[in-house]
A and B are shown apart, each in its own frame.
Chain A
Amino acid sequence: MTTPPSLLIDSLAFAYPDGHQALFGVHLRVNRGERVALLGPNGAGKTTLVLHLNGLLSGGVGTVSVAGLAVEPENYPEIRRRVGVVFQDPDDQLFMPTVRDDVAFGPANAGVTGAELDAAVSSALDAVGMLDFADRPPHHLSFGQRRRVALATVLVMRPEILVMDEPSSNLDPASRRELADIVRSLDITLLMVTHDLPYALELCPRSVILSDGVIVADGPTREILLDEQLMTRNRLELPFGFDPRNISSPT
């Protein structure tokens, strides 16, 4: 028996109610333990795709399943436990009065209480190095700290797959590196939406490019970044002076 892939997307197409079609048949398979970067220009449909992974958007064509479980309304509670989405703006994600309450929000919704809840919260905060800030209100933290807490709020659910939307945006270089260290330390399947190509190379052995609502490339991150034609066609550009050839591949 083989374990089902962490994420399997088959022929997913979706149009918004205003008629704007964002996805035109997306196929993607992410195996357990893989770290995959989802690249693509603005407006390619990346966010739309992310919102399909836990059923926040639905009603189009095609199927999504997470570790073998279909993303269908009757499975939403379990799907939302399995798929941990870290949104781009931590102020959207952290809405409870204290860090501890916020991290407890997901498991409490799932019915975890008492000592078990406390232990889960502490261990998730510990994993992102924010245990000492448990009783602080989120808005007293720095941006990098808030993003780490946002990560803890989904790690506490022990998700099958972690989905991060632009994890490195607005972070100073030190916070950016700290977050990378944390992500590397996690033994988890990762789908990372990003414009930060060096970050993708650093963290994700595999990358896919979503462009105009379809996956146009899927392969080792280094090869994709070195394919100049492919990059240009999809409005992807490496930062000035950055050469993937000078950097050892992620493992």
Chain B
Amino acid sequence: MPSPHTHGHDVGERLLVHRHTAIHRLPAEVKTVAMVSFILIVVFTPPEQFWAFGVYALMLAAVARAALIPAKIILPRMLVEVPFVLFAVLMPFFGTGDTVEVFGITMYTAGLLAAWNILIKGTLGVVASILLAATTPARDLLLGLERLRVPTLLVQIAAFMLRYMHVVTDEMGRMKLARDARGFTATGIRSWPVIAQSAGALFIRSYERGERVHLAMLSRGYTGRLPRLDNAVTLRSDWVKSMMLPAGALIVAVTATVVQP
């Protein structure tokens, strides 16, 4: 097995884990649909059916295995979830109603269940997204969204973000160098205004660049629609393959809802 590596060092493709597997080869739009449906099904599953979430996790593990994405790549990336679920961790400590004692700490049952609900569903969604991003080049994702008839405006915004993220982070890096070169060191709260001003300047510069890019686009006949540049055909068998994941999840969810205590 080749060691995991990412191609290039560019921001847009940093998430892609380059491998040659059936999952990498699937068209982006079928993977996107499969991921979104999977997440929706997970969200609609009753939280008290703990076993169902175990099955979902196993399903994602199977996908990760088939795509040759090891846990040591997935786990660090899951950290993006932390700020979003932080408040979920506090939920068991506030509320009313029944309480339980865990290791001598009193917690509210309702809050505990709500926290579990957010935590597990959030985590499964994040892992599913990580798998999609790790197996699909960013540009293909955009083409996939286009084929799914996502409004072109949204696709265009995402495409520009992808293209200019690098330019803007470079600019940010240069501004930081220029600050440091003049003896600035970030020391606590008193340096915040400088950082804030830099952020403001970066915003203005990016905004002005946006205007220049728009002029350049108009110069080449832009009329509000980006031309469709690919004509790949999606096979029915690709749809069947990738919908296996949400189909399996659907069976689990229906079972979990029906046998609800």
Binding partners A and B = yes
Q: With an 8 A cutoff between CB atoms, is A137 at the interface?
A: yes
A148 to chain B, nearest CB (A): 16
Q: Are B160 and A108 in contact (CB under 8 A)?
A: no
Complex interface: chain A residues within 8 A of B166 (CB):
139
Q: Give a binary string over B204-236; 1 marks a CB under 8 Å from any A CB, 0 the rest.
A: 000001001101111111110011110000000
Complex interface: chain B residues within 8 A of A109 (CB):
220-223, 227
Question: Would A110 and B221 be within 8 Å (CB), given that A97-B142, A137-B12, A139-B167 are in contact?
Answer: yes
Q: Are A92 and B142 in contact (CB under 8 A)?
A: no
Complex interface: chain A residues within 8 A of B147 (CB):
none
Closest to A55 in B: B218
Q: With an 8 A cutoff between CB atoms, is A89 at the interface?
A: yes
Closest to B139 in A: A97
The CA-CA distance from A153 to B221 in the complex, in Å, is: 12
Closest to A138 in B: B163
Interface residues of A in 89-127 (CB under 8 A from B): 89, 91-93, 95-98, 101, 104-106, 108-110
Q: How many A-B residue pairs have CB under 8 A?
A: 82
Q: Are A97 and B162 in contact (CB under 8 A)?
A: yes
**Chain A interface residue bracket vs B:** 20 to 34
Question: Would A85 and B219 be within 8 Å (CB), given that A91-B209, A92-B212, A95-B160 are in contact?
Answer: yes
The CA-CA distance from A97 to B162 in the complex, in Å, is: 8
Q: With an 8 A cutoff between CB atoms, is B81 at the interface?
A: no
Q: Are B220 and A87 in contact (CB under 8 A)?
A: no
Question: Would A93 and B10 be within 8 Å (CB), given that A104-B229, A105-B227, A109-B223 are in contact?
Answer: no
Give which listed residue, B162, B216, B228, contacts A87 with CB less than 8 A: B216
The A contact surface, by secondary structure, is helix
Q: With an 8 A cutoff between CB atoms, is A77 at the interface?
A: yes
Q: Are B220 and A51 in contact (CB under 8 A)?
A: no
Closest to A93 in B: B216
- The tally of residues in B whose CB lies under 8 Å from a CB in A reads 29
Complex interface: chain B residues within 8 A of A139 (CB):
10, 163, 166-167
Q: Are A80 and B8 in contact (CB under 8 A)?
A: no
The CA-CA distance from A154 to B174 in the complex, in Å, is: 30
Complex interface: chain B residues within 8 A of A96 (CB):
159, 163, 226
Q: Are B215 and A56 in contact (CB under 8 A)?
A: yes
Q: Are A106 and B142 in contact (CB under 8 A)?
A: no
Q: Give a binary string over A157-190; 1 marks a CB under 8 Å from any B CB, 0 the rest.
A: 1000000000000000000000000000000000
Give which listed residue, B139, B212, B216, contacts A98 with CB less than 8 A: B139
Q: Are A56 and B163 in contact (CB under 8 A)?
A: no
Q: Are A87 and B212 in contact (CB under 8 A)?
A: yes
Give which listed residue, A77, A92, A140, contacts B8 with CB less than 8 A: A140
Give which listed residue, A77, A81, A95, contacts B216 with CB less than 8 A: A95
B222 to chain A, nearest CB (A): 6
B204 to chain A, nearest CB (A): 15
Q: Are B219 and A56 in contact (CB under 8 A)?
A: yes
The CA-CA distance from A105 to B12 in the complex, in Å, is: 21
**What residues make up the interface of B, taking CB atoms closer than 8 Å to A?**
8, 10, 12, 138-139, 142, 159-160, 162-164, 166-167, 209, 212-213, 215-223, 226-229
**What residues make up the interface of A, taking CB atoms closer than 8 Å to B?**
51, 54, 56, 77, 80-81, 83, 85, 87, 89, 91-93, 95-98, 101, 104-106, 108-110, 137-140, 153-154, 157
